[in-house]
Amino acid sequence: MSGRRIVITSGKGGVGKTTTTVNVGAALAKRGKRVVLVDADIGLRNLDLVLGVEKRIVFDIVEVIEGRCQLRQALIRDKRFESLHMLPAAQTREKESISEEQMKAVIVELAESADFVLIDCPAGIEHGFRSAVAGATEAIVVTTPEVSAIRDADRVVGKLNAERIPLRVIVNRVRPEMVKSGEMMSVEDVCEILSAELLGIVPDDEEVIDTTNRGEPIVLDESKRLATIYDKIARRLGGDVVAFTNLEAPGLIGRLKTLWKAG
Amino acid sequence: MMEAFEEASQASVPVRPLGRAIVVTSGKGGVGKTTTTANVGTALAARGARVVLVDADVGLRNLDIVLGLESRVKFHLLDVLEEKATLDEALVRDKRSETLFLLAAAQTREKEDVDTAAMVALVETLRARFDYVLIDCPAGIEMGFKNAVAGAQHAIVVCTPEVSSVRDADRVVGLLPTDWRPELIVNRLRPQLVKKGKMLSVDDVNAILRLPLLGVIADEPNVIVATNRGEPLALDATSVTGAAYRTIAAKIAGEKLPAPDVRPPSTGIIGKLGSLFGKRG
Ligand SMILES: Nc1ncnc2c1ncn2[C@@H]1O[C@H](COP(=O)(O)OP(=O)(O)O)[C@@H](O)[C@H]1O
Ligand SMILES: Nc1ncnc2c1ncn2[C@@H]1O[C@H](COP(=O)(O)OP(=O)(O)O)[C@@H](O)[C@H]1O
Ligand SMILES: [Mg+2]
Ligand SMILES: [Mg+2]
């Protein structure tokens, strides 16, 4: 049976797509799943940095598509997680160098020998977004609890709905103390606005910055709070029912609702 | 609502030189382009300059939210480019400033709908009427980026002290016209983390990018609060970050000021970065 093909997307940049792709992928691999991470951000690749494999890149996805190497030659195996691989994006090429069909063909081929193919989508909703989505049959929409990010996520949810791609939401960089004081939207508010099912809640945690700079997925260190959280997300993705931590509070929903009516 | 603007533009017709069109760009998304555009624009207008902020993030507009103007937007950039509305109909005057205007992006259209030549002509028209045209660039380096850059003469590159952001900024600098000298704003710096060696310092970032430093903005939860409220911090007289934006505006306006003093020494994380930047472009 062929593996699941999931795109990690957001509309807005910098909300944590790459961080999520790497950590959810690593958490799945830790649970013994065969995982391939695909960097679809052609021209602005980052996944290699966050995973810490940037020095080992030999070929990239564009070279695979142009037939200049075999798919398996371009795959990089992670040294820490046996069953984790990644396919790098090209850095000096344009997003237009890959068509939607070509991207889909690569993703489908990868899924033949993986349990999960996670596709790290570029920011925006241009060509790069469309090709990243083309190969996927499911989506994870990452957003932060901020008005701009949610508005952009809403736009992406609309596009995914139109393509009939089922999706769930990860709310990233939540600061419970700000939610309590009414300065940040609650996770409930976010899900209500997006009318989408919740997959995970990830707190804002400065450890992410440090581990990213060092190229070490945070799930490597089980003592880290976020390691547990990404593991829960991995289990939910696999179909387990795992309870959520409760971070609710009344929020800024009033302003948002009028925003949505205004279109 | 447009009175102040019309007065200003009429008075200006005969002698005034064209304003400066500055694109605020980064490559990576979410590093603070829109926040920077809103705050620097607000601070420039507070100095009396006539400023228009152009949201070039067609399909994913945000600038209206950050300025708290979302309910006043009736027409947008594409309406003007496609001559469905006049410029005066589409320009939204800021709530707080007489000389600050927003040209919003379309929310339900695509970046590919923008005609580059028409965009260049529009920026030219705006330069005749305003001292500063600040263009809020979308993330990425696709069509939206190209259109945002097309009409500008100058760029501000926003970068956070993170490896991915630096790499993307470096890529973007390589794509800008070679005769530009883009200026750098390092955003979301946390001096505490830099001291602990857990975050790149401004020097680390600029050892790679090598751009004139326009300013450094700290990471501050108040920025998020201000964004959610639609009130730029640049107007907050008590805020350190607000003051930093006002300093940036003063520099853009040509005042000679010393470089900001938030620059702890290099952290050593840069070793990792160094090997990444063999080639540019
Ligand atoms: N939960 C978190 N807590 C703190 N910082 C985070 C968190 N998630 C992401 N970040 C930071 O935000 C930045 C952007 O994340 P990234 O995954 O690169 O976003 P994207 O891929 O959506 O552009 C990263 O450099 C990372 O340091
Ligand atoms: N100096 C800062 N301190 C804290 N948060 C910031 C700062 N600058 C920006 N942010 C937050 O980061 C998010 C992304 O900023 P934004 O200006 O929308 O980025 P971009 O336009 O580059 O996508 C915003 O929601 C904002 O609240
Ligand atoms: Mg990314
Ligand atoms: Mg923006």
Asked if residue B219 has its Cβ within 6 Å of ligand 2, the reply is: yes
Q: Does B139 touch chain A (CB under 8 A)?
A: yes
Cβ atoms of B203 and B263 closer than 8 Å: yes
| ipTM score for this prediction | 0.89
C-alpha span between B110 and B114 (Å, rounded): 8
- Residue B10 domain-assigned (yes or no): no
Give the span between the Cα atoms of B237 and B246, in whole angstroms. Answer: 10
CA distances (Å), A254 to each of A147, A149, A182, B229, in order? 11, 16, 12, 11
> Do the domain assignments include residue B2?
no
Tell me if B60 and A124 make a contact (CB, 8 A cut-off). Answer: yes
Give the pLDDT band (50/70/90) at residue B27.
very high
Q: What is the mean pLDDT of residues B257-267?
A: 56
Provide the domain limits for residue B93.
17-276
Total number of domains constituting chain B: 1
Q: Check whether B11 has a pLDDT greater than 90.
A: no
Q: Is the CB of B140 under 6 A from ligand 2?
A: no
- Residue B252 falls inside a structural domain: yes
Asked if residue B22 belongs to a domain, the reply is: yes
pLDDT at res. A252: 45
Q: Does position B280 have pLDDT exceeding 50, yes or no?
A: no
| Residues pairing with A76 in the sheet | A86
Ligand 2 within 6 A of B217 CB?
yes
Ligand 1 atom nearest the C-alpha of B162 is 25
Among B118-122, B132-136, B272-276, name the one with the lowest average pLDDT.
Answer: B272-276
Q: What is the pLDDT of residue B266?
A: 55
Ligand 2 contact, B187 CB (< 6 A):
yes
- How much distance in Å is there from the Cα of B129 to the middle of ligand 4? 24
* B10 to chain A, closest Cα gap in Å: 33
B268 touches chain A (CB under 8 A): no
Q: What are the residue ranges of helices labelled H in chain B?
A: 3-12, 33-46, 63-66, 77-81, 87-90, 116-129, 143-150, 163-175, 191-195, 202-209, 221-229, 240-252, 270-274
Of A79, A8, A73, A69, nearest in space to A37 by CA = A8
Quick one: which ligand is closest to A212's CA? 1
Helix pair angle (B116-129, B143-150), 10° resolution: 40
Q: For strand A116-120 and strand A76-77, is the pairing parallel, antiparallel, or unpaired? A: unpaired
Look at residue A169 and tell me whether its pLDDT is greater than 70. Answer: yes
Tell me, yes or no, if B193 comes closer than 8 A to chain A by beta carbon.
yes
CA of A83, closest CA in chain B: separation in Å? 25
- Tell me the whole-structure pTM to 2 decimals: 0.90
Q: What is the DSSP letter of A240?
A: -
Q: Which of A43, A95, A213 sits opposite B162 (nearest CB)?
A: A213
Mean pLDDT of A179-189: 90
What is the overall mean pLDDT for chain B? 89
In a domain, B3, yes or no: no
A159-168, B13-22, B98-107, B271-280: the lowest-pLDDT one = B271-280
Query: Could you tell me the CA-to-CA distances from A180 to A142, A169, A202, B220 in Å, in that order?
Result: 22, 21, 16, 18
Evaluate if residue B146 carries a pLDDT over 90. Answer: yes
pLDDT tops 80 at residue B2: no
Distance from CA of A164 to the nearest CA of B (A): 19
Per-residue pLDDT tens over the stretch B164-213: 999 999 999 999 999 999 999 999 999 999 999 999 999 999 999 999 99
Q: Which ligand is nearest to the CA of B36?
A: 2
Chain centroid, CA B38 distance in Å: 7
A144-158, B25-39, B65-79, B251-265: least confidently modelled range: B251-265
Q: Is residue B7 part of a domain?
A: no
CATH code of the domain covering residue B199: 3.40.50.300
User: What are the residues whose beta carbons fall under 8 Å from the beta carbon of A201, sequence distance 6 or more?
Assistant: A170, A171, A174, A187, A229, A244, A245, A247
Please report the residues numbered 16 through 45 in chain B whose beta carbons come closer than 8 angstroms to any beta carbon of chain A: 27-31, 34
Query: Which DSSP symbol is given to A261?
Result: H
State the distance from the centre of ligand 4 to the C-alpha of B135, rounded, in angstroms: 10
Residue A4 φ/ψ, nearest 5 degrees: -80, 145
pLDDT exceeds 80 at position B114: yes
B162 domain-assigned: yes
pLDDT of residue B260: 55
Full set of structural domains in chain A with CATH: 4-262 (3.40.50.300)
Kind and range of the H or E run holding B55: strand B51-55
* B76-98 per-position pLDDT tens digit: 999 999 999 999 999 999 999 99
In a domain, B12, yes or no: no
Residue of A56, A96, A210, A218 lying closest to B276 (CA atoms) = A56
Contacts of B270 (CB under 8 A, 6+ apart): B200, B204, B207, B208
